[in-house]
């Protein structure tokens, strides 16, 4: 029974793919390991001439010669150890860096559904913790396994060379000593997988609590969050203690088995020396090799636990990398022409997993029109707009520019012609300038300032400590909600895309901030095709056409005036907002 089975661990084959580019260095490293193993075995071999020739036979020539042999032996061994450690560290770190890169690239290419199904904490746990566990396995444990395996082979040769009869007895114990390594390895893999899953859950809790700390404190939920954390923390502690229990048990088991074998060898070998069938030098050379053989077996047992943890982490990493993409670019995709005239939804249906969100959506938008989508929360408005840049893939029907399905265009060219301003403001812990120029890093400072002025943002930016070079903190925490939104509008203006998507861009702002942001939005909408999801109906009364959604279907369409007088769903929404004071002003009819 092998410790590492390709059938049980298919991730090993995947790891070999990452090793292949560094086979040259691996061969040199393995050569160094063989030298280390040979030097270790040879040091056991030298015990016989030291004892028999120097101490028993009093050979002065050997006394003059052998110390220099020992010095040369350990100099060679030291140089080989340096070479194998450096090369294996390089190979291990390079492999892990490449896996981390590939995993991050894969995450960047995932469609949005993956990020909605998996928490940020879980994703970070796989990208950081799992990769670190794999690094420990590849850089350290695999090196130890290879080196100790070569050492074992060299020492076994010395053992058999010195006394093959005693060696046969010793080899009876060896398979028994290997069995715990296999059994403990399976336990390590099982508990390591559990621990990594629990770390993901714990990371999720920490991320939620930190990012939502204002809400936690506002609602006095500190004790509740402490309790949630403590439950997961204790669960992780119990799993770790199971790992340590197996790890602590493995050493005494190995010690006991080794002690039984060595006791038997001393008893039998002692009788051979007493009867003159072997010299003391032969016996002690044999025993030295046997004792030295026991150490690498123990090290392999220890390294095996680290390797099992690494394989468990590798499986979780490759599970992420093997997730099938739902949004895939066609092999013969073409560029979306800049001069398109019409955007059309034709019997579009969409479902999250099995939950249908949109059903039989049909409409067309001509270039330069402003079209709005309204309805109650959960009616599918935002999802509808997210289908246009292919954040999700339609499950039925088609979306087309000038009767050409958007799936026929390259994703990059499609998204390059779409600018978005959403309720969820995404800013980075960087300068104001870099946030505005995100995606347009080549733009001049003059263009960035022009976009900021159009977004009604330039004045407040100049009041910041370092102006456009001010670091705004994670998610723009140093700015107010209105200021963050105006920076996102400036970013959209700088992109200068012909199609603009506004997804409840002002719904989270107070009245004063909304007025300032709306001025920026008005400048952004000039000479563009605009699709708006709006919470406040007063912001869409000037739309060329308004679509009302209910339960994923379009139930009404028309201008504000026509829908208002139709006394249907739109009128009910309008009257509800008037009663609740959500309209900034009553639009003129």
Q: What is the DSSP string of 32-95?
A: HHHHHHHHHHHHHHTHHIIIIIIIIS--HHHHHHHHHHHHHHHHHHHHHHHHHHHHHHHHHHHH
* Residue-level pLDDT at 214: 63
> Could you give the CA distance from residue 287 to residue 299 in angstroms, rounded to a whole number?
19
Q: What is the pLDDT of residues 379-412, one digit of tens each?
A: 888 889 999 999 889 999 999 999 899 999 999 9
* Residue-level pLDDT at 423: 78
CB distance 100 to 318 below 8 Å: no
Q: What is the DSSP string of 247-258?
A: HHHHHHHHHHHH
**Cα angle value 34/37/43 (rounded, 5°):** 140
* Residue-level pLDDT at 587: 45
CB distance 27 to 258 below 8 Å: no
* Structure-block tokens of residue 89: 């560290």
Q: What is the pLDDT of residues 421-448, one digit of tens each?
A: 887 778 888 888 998 888 887 888 998 8
* Residue-level pLDDT at 343: 94
Mapping DSSP onto H, E and C, the string for 493-515 reads HHHCCCEEEEECCCCCCCHHHHH
| 4: Cα separation from own chain's centroid | 25
Phi and psi, residue 33, nearest 5° = -65, -40
- The mean pLDDT of the chain is 79
Min mean pLDDT across 261-270, 300-309, 469-478 is at: 261-270
Mean pLDDT of 220-232: 81
Of 313, 299, 257, whose CA–CA distance to 137 is shortest?
A: 313
| Element (DSSP H or E) covering residue 533 | strand 529-533
390 to each of 245, 399, 549, how far by Cα in Å? 50, 10, 20
* Residue-level pLDDT at 1: 37
- Comparing 238 with 185, the larger pLDDT belongs to 238
Domains defined along the chain, listed by start:
11-321 (1.20.1560.10), 418-496 (3.40.50.300)
Half-sphere exposure at residue 38, Cβ-oriented, CA atoms within 13 angstroms: 11
* Residue-level pLDDT at 584: 45
- Comparing 101 with 217, the larger pLDDT belongs to 101
- Comparing 307 with 24, the larger pLDDT belongs to 24
* Residue-level pLDDT at 2: 43
Min mean pLDDT across 6-10, 182-186, 546-550 is at: 6-10
| 8: Cα separation from own chain's centroid | 23
* Residue-level pLDDT at 133: 77
* Residue-level pLDDT at 409: 94
Q: What is the DSSP string of 385-403?
A: HHTTTTSS--SEEEEEETT
- Confidence check: pLDDT of 302 > 80: no
Residue 513: pLDDT band with limits 50, 70, 90: low
Report, in angstroms and rounded to the nearest whole number, the Rg of the chain calculated over CA atoms: 35
Of 516, 545, 517, whose CA–CA distance to 529 is shortest?
A: 545
220 contact partners, CB below 8 Å, separation of at least 6: none
- Confidence check: pLDDT of 585 > 60: no
DSSP symbol at 140: I
* Residue-level pLDDT at 286: 65
Counting every residue written for the chain, the total comes to: 589
Residue 28: pLDDT band with limits 50, 70, 90: very high
Of 230, 199, 226, 233, whose CA–CA distance to 122 is shortest?
A: 199
Percent of the chain at pLDDT > 90 equals 12
């Amino acid at each position: 029974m092998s410790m590492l089975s390709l059938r049980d661990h298919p991730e090993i084959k995947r790891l070999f793919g990452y090793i292949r580019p560094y086979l040259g260095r691996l061969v040199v490293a393995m050569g160094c390991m063989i030298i280390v193993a040979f030097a270790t075995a040879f040091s056991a071999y030298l015990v016989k001439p030291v004892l028999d020739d120097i101490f028993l036979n009093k050979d002065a020539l050997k006394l003059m010669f052998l110390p220099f042999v020992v010095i040369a032996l350990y100099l060679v061994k030291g140089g080989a150890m340096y070479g194998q450690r450096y090369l294996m560290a390089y190979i291990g770190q390079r492999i892990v860096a490449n896996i981390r890169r590939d995993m991050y690239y894969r995450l960047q290419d995932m469609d949005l559904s993956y990020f909605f199904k998996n928490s940020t904490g879980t994703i970070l746990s796989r990208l950081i913790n799992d990769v670190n566990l794999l690094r420990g396995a590849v850089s350290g444990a695999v090196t130890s396994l290879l080196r100790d395996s070569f050492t074992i082979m060299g020492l076994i040769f010395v053992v058999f060379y010195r006394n093959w009869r005693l060696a046969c007895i010793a080899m009876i114990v060896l398979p028994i000593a290997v069995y715990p390594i296999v059994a403990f390895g399976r336990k390590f893999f099982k508990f390591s997988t559990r621990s990594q899953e629990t770390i993901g859950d714990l990371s999720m809790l920490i991320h939620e609590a930190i990012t939502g700390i204002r809400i936690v404190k506002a609602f006095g939920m500190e004790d509740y969050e402490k309790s949630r954390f403590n439950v997961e923390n204790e669960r992780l502690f119990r799993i770790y203690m199971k790992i340590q229990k197996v790890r602590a048990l493995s050493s005494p088991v190995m010690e006991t088995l080794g002690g039984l074998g060595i006791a038997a060898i001393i008893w039998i070998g002692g009788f051979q020396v007493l009867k003159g069938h072997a010299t003391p030098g032969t016996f002690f050379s044999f025993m030295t090799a046997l004792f030295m053989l026991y150490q690498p077996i123990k090290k392999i047992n220890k390294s095996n636990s680290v390797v099992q943890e690494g394989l468990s982490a590798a499986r979780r990493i490759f599970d992420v990398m093997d997730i099938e993409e739902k949004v895939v670019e066609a092999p013969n995709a073409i560029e979306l022409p800049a001069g398109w005239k019409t955007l059309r939804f034709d019997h579009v249906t969409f479902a999250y997993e099995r939950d249908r969100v949109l059903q039989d959506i049909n409409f067309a938008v001509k270039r330069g029109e402003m079209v709005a989508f309204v309805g109650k929360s959960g009616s599918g408005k935002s999802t509808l707009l997210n289908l246009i840049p292919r954040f999700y893939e339609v499950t039925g029907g088609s979306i087309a520019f000038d009767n050409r399905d958007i799936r026929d265009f390259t994703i990059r060219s499609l998204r390059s012609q779409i600018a978005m301003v959403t309720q969820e403001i995404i800013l980075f812990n960087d300068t104001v300038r870099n946030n505005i120029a995100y995606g347009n890093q080549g733009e001049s400072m003059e263009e960035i300032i022009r976009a900021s002025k159009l977004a009604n943002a330039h004045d407040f930016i100049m009041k910041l400590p370092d102006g456009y070079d001010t670091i705004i903190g994670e998610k723009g925490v140093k700015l107010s909600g209105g200021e963050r939104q105006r920076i996102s509008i400036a970013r959209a203006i700088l992109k200068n895309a012909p199609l603009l998507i506004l997804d409840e861009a002002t719904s989270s702002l107070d009245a004063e901030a909304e007025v300032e942001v709306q001025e920026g939005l008005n400048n952004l909408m000039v000479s563009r095709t605009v699709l708006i999801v709006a919470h406040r109906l007063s912001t869409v009364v000037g739309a060329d056409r308004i679509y009302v959604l209910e339960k994923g279907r379009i139930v009404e369409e028309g201008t504000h005036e026509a829908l208002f007088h139709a006394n249907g769903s739109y009128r009910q929404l309008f009257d509800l907002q008037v009663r609740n004071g959500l309209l900034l002003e009553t639009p003129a009819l």
